[in-house]
Structure 1
Amino acid sequence: MEIFVPIPPEGGEWVVTDTARELEKMLGAGASRIRWWKRPIRAFHVAHGDEPRRRPLRSVDAPWMGSHGLVVKPAARALLEPLFGSAAQYVPVRGTPYPKLDYVHVHKLADVLDENASDIHYFTPGRDIMDVARYMFRREVADAGPVFKLERMPRGSIFLRDDAVDAIHASGLTGFAFEKVWSST
């Protein structure tokens, strides 16, 4: 088994939240479903390092927003919904040239990180995790499901099992890129 995190695709398109407050609300939801969201996420479209654009450079199924969640068009959502099941929620995104975008809010947290074997940087003072330079997972990662976040890092990256990444790549959908962060072999 292998575990992956999403990374920005080379030359891909980006969607960014309209304000830092919007991003903080998304990340602050952590393991909770976003029940209190009464309106779509406001965002705008950019090309890597560019100013906001009025129209897309090219059409992709998953413009990049960050490793904390995916942003997807309807075709990608149709693949991900049955694959991710109840581990994720889909929140509408508005304000980009793409119609019908959804932010995939992964709210399933798994306690599967082997902190003793991983290379972890902690905030000081305390034991809150700031960053993980090298991931080591416990056997229970096999039961975490196709997509999850780490229990001790609910505001951090989403993690995908190799079967989920394989299904995404096999679908032919565009805009997705992943980096392997751990292998059981």
Structure 2
Amino acid sequence: HVVHGFLDTNPAIREQTVKSMLLLAPKLNEANLNVELMKHFARLQAKDEQGPIRCNTTVCLGKIGSYLSASTRHRVLTSAFSRATKDPFAPSRVAGVLGFAATHNLYSMNDCAHKILPVLCGLTVDPEKSVRDQAFKAIRSFLSKLESVSEDPTQLEEVGCPCSLQPWHGRSRSQ
């Protein structure tokens, strides 16, 4: 039972269990992937005393994000990566930024503008240069995506955004 690895008292076992999910996630059924695994990842990311385990949980989540159901992605990814950017362990903060970058095509334009960019902008003054550098790269990427769609809303589907631009261009023009 793989689940026991997430609960093991030995940090090395917990870490290897997280890493093994990269190979196992595509093979898990929907309930195990979207419910059970996410429960364990949330607990490890928020409460594990080992920084590298929190970091690797975030890295793994970024790599398996595309396997999650749309509702789970919407519910989990933004909050998990945002939480990681507040971690006291600098590599976890970098992993949060890289998680956003790796899953950039899974977010609506509104989420990019109102949820993700504000988190990333806060990291531009992080004490660690590696965090700042990755934050600036991710900000440029998200801004480029937003600007491109703003200039030509027909690109919305090409960009890979799962939303519409209704609030931007689909409003009726009443008096």
The bucket for the TM-score relative to the shorter chain is: under 0.3
TM-score calculated relative to the size of structure 2: 0.27
Determine which structure has more spread, i.e. the larger CA radius of gyration: 2
The answer to which structure, 1 or 2, has the higher relative contact order (CA under 8 A, 6+ apart) is 1
Looking at secondary structure, tell me which structure has more strand per residue. Answer: 1
Looking at secondary structure, tell me which structure has more helix per residue. Answer: 2
